[in-house]
Structure 1
Amino acid sequence: MASKRDYEPLPDGGGDLVFVCVAAAIAGVFIGFVGGAFRWCLQYADVLRVDLSDWAHRLPGPGWLVPMAATALGATLAAAVVRWMPLAAGSGIQHVEAVYRGDAAPPLLRLLPAKFVGGVLGIGSGLVLGREGPTVHMGAALGAAVAHVARFSDSTVRMLQTAVGGAGLAVAFNAPIGGALFTLEEVTKSFRLKTVLATAFAAATAVGCSRIIIGDHPDFLVQAVVSPNLGWLPLFVVFGLVTGCLGVLYNRLVLGFVDHVKLVSRVPAEVKAAVIGALIGLVMFIHPLAVGGGDSLTQSILSGNTMILPVVIGFLALRFVAGPLSYAAAVPGGLFAPLLAVGALWGLLFVGGFGAVWPGETASLAVPMAIVGMGAFFAATVRAPVTGIVLVVEMTATTSVIVPMLAASAAAVLAAELLRSPPIYDSLRERMPAEPEPEPEPSGG
């Protein structure tokens, strides 16, 4: 006997659902162009940052002061933007989650310029932060604005800001399915029909529009990767377990830096951001690939470029500390993109260390383990393994490592759960300051 559908029939023939989907698609167009422009600005800033570092190395005298001053200035200006719009600080993903849960008011549209300008200043100057947090938050603001114009109910406003926030993640990584899954697995933790359809329409239109600006290609260009032999699967499981422990350490480092920087309450936020920016600028002088979102470094690894183990260890150590330190500056910027770079470096280091003690040929595992490391480290910190796997598959256009990535990601989440470490965005949401009552948007009439 066939089972009944697990949802009630839609009232009015589904008219309300149609309006919600149309609104989601319209908001998706907006975040597609805004997020695409945001990505273009950050890509251009990456080029300028490398040129600046090269120029500083050629200067006579203390050339290292140049990148320190540049990053400190960018961080200071980003902190000034946050002083004008406090909600622009940090990733913003935890706020999107709080809004969906009914614990915070939806973001106002004036958050968008604050996130855009502050994100370009902070991330563009070299802070080790990700583009996805600001893009998700800008998407949420646009989704809420469109929902308010359409006079939807409060619950639908919260749902639509969440759906379009997921479209923002899709734009940030050119990964429409991953962005949609992020909304469903990480934020709502449910698969309700209205949310699924709204997220799908928003992500589809958003990524379609963003590709007009940034192009239609995966984020990382990877040559064909041979699927690892099934006999290596236990190694990937062990790798996942260790990655879970590393993810717990990374989360604690993020929270530790955030808490300790907040304790220095007598120092203005702009000064703290400037000090952190100067430290990151010094790292940029050491090597420009050690700072920023990390895409160039990840691309180098996935292209199969050879790195000796001391260099891998150096990059990993610098980025492992610089990411949490940058987040403590409380300027617009996320955690996802730096996580992917750390995961790729960790996978490369794991293979190198294993190859030093294993008599067999392990060089062919370098790129597969780096790809698996991206997904597993994401899963360990964010605790959204399916989203992490799909994001990495879409970003690399590689499906040959899905089985080992699934095993490693599951093992990473298991290890993090056994260590009783909460997901990073749960911890950050608990640290959100209480919001004042929001001012209404100008009616224009």
Structure 2
Amino acid sequence: MFENLTDKLERSFQILKGEGRITEINVAESLKEIRRALIDADVNYKVAKNFTDEVKTKALGQDVLKSVKPGQMMTKIVRDELAALMGGTMTDITLEGNPAVILIAGLQGSGKTTFSGKLANLIKSKKGRQVLLVAGDVYRPAAIEQLKILGQQIGVEVYTEEGNQNPVQIAENAIKYARTNHLNTVIVDTAGRLAVDEQMMQEITAIKAAVKPGETLFVVDSMTGQDAVNTAKEFNDRLDFDGVVLTKLDGDTRGGAAISIRAVVNKPLKFISSGEKMDALQVFHPERMADRILGMGDIVSLVEKAQEQYDEEEARRLKKKLVKNQFDFNDFLTQISQIKKMGNLKDLAGMIPGVGKMLKNVEINDDVFKQTEAIIHSMTPAERADPSIINGSRRQRIATGSGTTMQDVNRLLKQFEDTRKVMKSVAGGMPKMPKGFNPRGFKR
């Protein structure tokens, strides 16, 4: 994510390397490179210029401590200004009213329908609310079917009206249905077009006037860069939405839309989305994104993702098995499953400071565990529970059954044994958790 911008900004800070202090002369070249990096990332020119002017003012007015090098100070200033440019702090969605109504708008192909499903999943799982998805795109039958499929995947009801071509009426009826059936959150997916047009604008404006949503979100494809920002401005002028959602962020190596959009439309970026999985949706934190853009990682988000998959009872059971050296391939499969639930592996690795840069040109796809899982699934229950019984003939059978080689099976068995030894030593030294401890940071 944003690899090109990260590299160019890092090079701009290198210009100050070896300098004793920040001066107007030595900072000029660094700022020039920063501005060029932002423009290359498809950041609005005016936004890029105002940004570097602000950085210059802060840098020249800064008393650099003897223990802090000018390059480090410039990095800190740029990081803080980037966070401020993208909104400063996280802005949550509004869930008020009975039911709370969220209206989703955007161009065709921006990912509105998929986002609607992801948002429903997030609100249901993390906020414990009863959600109703509304199929308001009456022009594209595939959109209605897609929403039904997503609803089934996440266990959320989808409201549709076969044969009704009036999206305003459908949305109003859906809200009545939600009240009757005690569903406290309604998400209305609307129709898009290939480009902004008057008919679409009138329709979405009419829906908003009729249902009076507490939250209107504009969904836009981040890979369209400056076009995404321009489209957001056009929509906001007519719709006055409450927040922006950037989709397909995993394919965006530039980052122009994420950086520019708040400054241009003066509306917060609320969610970022990557991938097709229903849990691939994150609340947008400007300061964390600034850290990632500058190659500093995002440990807080990584820990939060891990905590979502954390099962305290399972952890206690696992620790007991580790200490007794009873960790087996069934436990190994469970750990793999939890890691996969956390999201895209390369994206997760990029949250660790320094690792994202190391993996810049390395492909890590979600199939990385497939061979390991195939080998384990080819074992008998007895072999999974007690790997020590896997002799030569068993290894050959496992290799044949998994479509791998003896070398692959031997390698996995050795890696498993090495991992088990390390995990046992770590578990043996783990402190006992205090009574009432909760990994999310509060006492029960």
Larger CA Rg, structure 1 vs 2: 2
Q: Which one has the bigger helix percentage? A: 1
TM-score where L is the length of structure 2: 0.27
Between 1 and 2, higher relative CO (CA 8 Å, sep ≥ 6) is seen in: 1
TM-score where L is the length of structure 1: 0.27
Q: Which one has the bigger strand percentage? A: 2
